[in-house]
Structure formats: structure tokens, C-alpha cells
């Protein structure tokens, strides 16, 4: 608990969403009373006019840019053009207007999808440009990675203080559980819960289960973002994660056990696996702003499953 945010005016784009709502809650816990959460119906951040109006209305000291158009493999494939354009325009325009207005600090959240498809594990920040991203999410990943290019260019030319963080897959209470657009953990939880409720004997999952992934509990991610906002002012990208990976097959069994689903898990190998492995080097986050995750995957999944059971009848559907 510090007083850093107590007198700051902070805009959190995506602040009503899954990660953003936790960031906003943690900001309030740290004494921030001037938090501005732009809603998409009021500020379409893909449009420059809306971005300028947001800066006029909020007059922020800090912008934490979390808003994104994103989904799982299927959503990324179906919306490649939209995800590329919308994410590119939001990041570019928010940073440009911030630069024009003399913004104190811009904190951007990129994505692990920006890393090359065959990055050596663990992913190190210096490997970000060592190849092309995995094809199913490259348009989204590259659009987000352009914020790093822009931030470094603006720091060099204008002295603009923008930092860019690269988180692994997030999960936790309040996640998107829509079957068409969700990421792997909420999708697996929903499939297993519904299969158990229906007395189904099997659940069919995408791919062959062999890829590995790393997952970060949403509360830990929010804490990392605020630590970086307060303490990190460098031009290099910083990974945010746990440094631990698990195969999708083992993850599916972990979730099925937590849910209590006793049926078979079958794999549809006609569906894409996505990137073969994802696991981050997390040394820089600890070194630069003292971040270390505190939630184990098992504990985080227990909390997420419990939340889903409690809110299952009111789950929001997310379509593009």
C-alpha cells in the first residue's frame, strides 16, 4: 500500500472488463479516487474523435490501456481483420493523443501472442522479434506488439513515458465463459460443468492436448500492472507470468477433477493446437518492479470454478 495513486487521475481502458475491473478495485484499495473507466458505447476508442474526447473529459495523469478485441483460437481466426485493425488503432491513437496532451505515463498491456511461434522456452523479452507469431493469432499479436515499437519511438523522440507489459493467458473469477470467444480455462470449465450437469459421458476438446501454456490469476496480473505503473519507467518490454507451464491435456484433467466430471476427455485433432509451447521468463518483472505471482494454478482454478458455479445462470455472452 503506497500513496502513489492517491492524487493521480487514472484512465483504465477496459476497466469494466475482466482484468480491468480488478485493476480498478486495486486502484481504489491504494487510495486512488479519480478513476475514469470509458465505456465503449460512450467512447469508441477505435475512432480518433472518441480518443480525443476521452482525454478532454478525463484529463488523466496516467492511462492504463487494457481494452482489447480478443478471443480464443476460433475467435481469432474468424475475426483476424477486425482484431488487427481495432487493436492497432486503439493503441496507436491513445498513445499519440497522450503524447500530444503531455500525459505523465502510459501503461500498455500487450500479449504473449506477440511472441514468435517457435520461441525457445522460457520466452525471454529479447526473443520478441526472432520470428513470426503463431498464425492463428498473429494479426492480434502483431497489432498489440506495435505498441512496443510506438512506445520506444516516442520515448526516443519525445521523451514520452510509455511502458509495455506482456502477460501470459489470464484467468479467474469474472472471465469470459462464452463458448465461441473464450480462452481455454473458462471454456474447459464451462464444458465440464455442463457435461456433468447433463450426465454426458464425454467432452470433446480442440487439438491433441499436447501444447503447453502458462496461466496467471487475474488478481496477480492486476497487481503486476500497478507495480509497473508505479515503479517501472524503462523502454524494454517486460513479461508478466508465473514461469510455470502445463500441457492442455493435464490442464483439462485438473479442471475435470475440480468440477467433478468423471467422463472421458476426447480430442478433436482436426482442430488447431495453436502455438506449441508458451512459458515466460519472469526475471525482469521481479528485477524491475518486484513482481512475483502468489496464486498457484490449482488454487486459482478452485476459485474460478466456484465463481462459475455461483454465477452460471447469469454468464454474459461475448460476440464480435
* pLDDT of amino acid 319: 47
pLDDT at 178 over 60: yes
Instruction: Give the pLDDT of residue 216.
Output: 98
Q: Taking the domains of the chain in order of start, what are their residue ranges?
A: 9-176+214-244+277-294
* pTM score of the predicted model: 0.92
Q: Could you tell me if 81 and 4 are in contact, meaning their C-beta atoms sit under 8 angstroms apart?
A: no
* Residues taking part in catalysis: 140
Confidence of residue 277 (pLDDT cuts 50, 70, 90): confident
pLDDT at 179: 80
Report the alpha-carbon distance of residue 238 to residue 215 in Å, rounded. 16
Per-residue pLDDT tens digits for 38-94: 999 999 999 999 999 999 999 999 999 999 987 777 777 888 999 999 999 999 999
- Determine the pLDDT at residue 180: 76
Does the pLDDT of residue 198 top 90, yes or no?
Answer: yes
State the chain's mean pLDDT as an integer. Answer: 94
Residue burial 269-290, b: 16+ Cβ < 10 Å; e: rest: eeeebbbebbbbbbebbeebbe
Which of the four pLDDT bands, split at 50, 70 and 90, describes residue 317?
Answer: low
Confidence grade of residue 1 (pLDDT, cut at 50, 70, 90): low
5: pLDDT confidence band, cut at 50, 70 and 90?
A: very high
- From the options 3.30.70.120, 3.40.50.720, 3.10.110.10, 3.40.50.300, give the CATH code of 9-176+214-244+277-294: 3.40.50.720
**pLDDT value of position 92:** 98
Average pLDDT score over residue span 239-260: 97
How does pLDDT run across 262-274, given as a tens digit for each residue? 999 999 999 888 8
pLDDT band at residue 8 under the 50/70/90 scheme: very high
CA dist., res. 206 & res. 295, Å (int): 27
Residue 214 has pLDDT above 60, yes or no: yes
Task: Using the CB atoms, write b or e for 146-156: b if 16+ within 10 Å.
Answer: bbbebbbebbe
Confidence of residue 182 (pLDDT cuts 50, 70, 90): confident
pLDDT of 316 above 90: no
E-strand ranges in the chain read: 9-13, 34-36, 62-65, 105-109, 162-167, 169-171, 202-206, 212-213, 215-217, 238-240, 246-247, 264-268
Tell me: pLDDT of 163 over 90: yes
Amino acid at each position: 500500500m503506497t500513496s502513489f495513486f492517491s492524487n493521480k487521475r487514472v484512465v483504465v481502458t477496459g476497466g469494466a472488463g475482466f482484468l480491468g475491473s480488478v485493476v480498478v478495485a486495486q486502484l481504489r484499495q491504494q487510495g486512488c479516487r479519480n478513476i475514469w473507466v470509458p465505456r465503449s458505447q460512450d467512447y469508441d476508442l477505435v475512432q480518433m474523435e472518441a480518443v480525443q474526447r476521452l482525454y478532454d473529459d478525463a484529463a488523466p495523469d496516467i492511462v492504463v490501456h487494457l481494452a482489447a478485441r480478443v478471443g480464443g483460437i476460433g475467435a481469432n481466426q474468424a475475426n483476424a481483420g477486425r482484431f488487427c485493425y481495432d487493436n492497432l488503432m486503439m493503441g496507436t491513437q491513445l498513445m499519440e493523443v497522450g503524447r500530444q496532451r503531455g500525459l505523465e505515463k502510459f501503461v500498455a498491456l500487450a500479449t504473449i501472442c506477440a511472441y514468435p511461434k517457435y520461441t525457445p522456452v522460457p520466452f525471454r523479452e529479447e526473443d520478441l522479434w526472432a520470428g513470426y507469431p503463431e498464425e492463428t493469432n498473429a494479426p492480434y499479436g502483431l497489432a498489440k506488439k506495435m505498441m512496443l515499437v510506438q512506445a520506444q519511438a516516442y520515448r526516443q523522440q519525445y521523451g514520452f513515458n510509455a511502458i509495455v507489459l506482456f502477460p501470459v493467458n489470464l484467468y479467474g473469477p469474472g472471465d469470459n465463459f462464452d463458448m465461441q470467444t473464450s480462452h481455454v480455462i473458462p471454456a474447459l470449465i464451462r464444458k465440464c460443468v455442463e457435461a456433468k450437469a447433463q450426465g454426458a459421458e464425454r467432452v470433446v476438446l480442440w487439438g491433441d492436448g499436447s501444447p503447453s501454456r502458462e496461466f496467471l490469476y487475474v488478481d496477480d496480473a492486476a497487481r503486476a500492472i500497478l507495480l509497473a505503473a508505479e515503479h517501472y519507467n524503462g523502454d524494454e518490454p517486460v513479461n508478466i507470468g508465473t514461469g510455470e507451464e502445463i500441457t492442455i491435456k493435464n490442464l483439462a484433467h485438473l479442471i475435470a477433477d475440480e468440477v467433478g466430471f468423471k467422463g472421458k476427455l476426447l480430442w478433436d485433432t482436426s482442430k488447431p493446437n495453436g502455438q506449441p509451447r508458451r512459458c515466460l521468463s519472469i526475471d525482469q518483472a521481479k528485477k524491475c518492479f518486484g513482481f512475483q505471482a502468489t496464486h498457484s494454478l490449482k488454487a486459482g482454478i478452485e476459485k474460478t470454478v466456484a465463481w462459475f458455479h455461483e454465477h452460471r445462470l447469469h454468464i454474459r455472452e461475448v460476440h464480435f
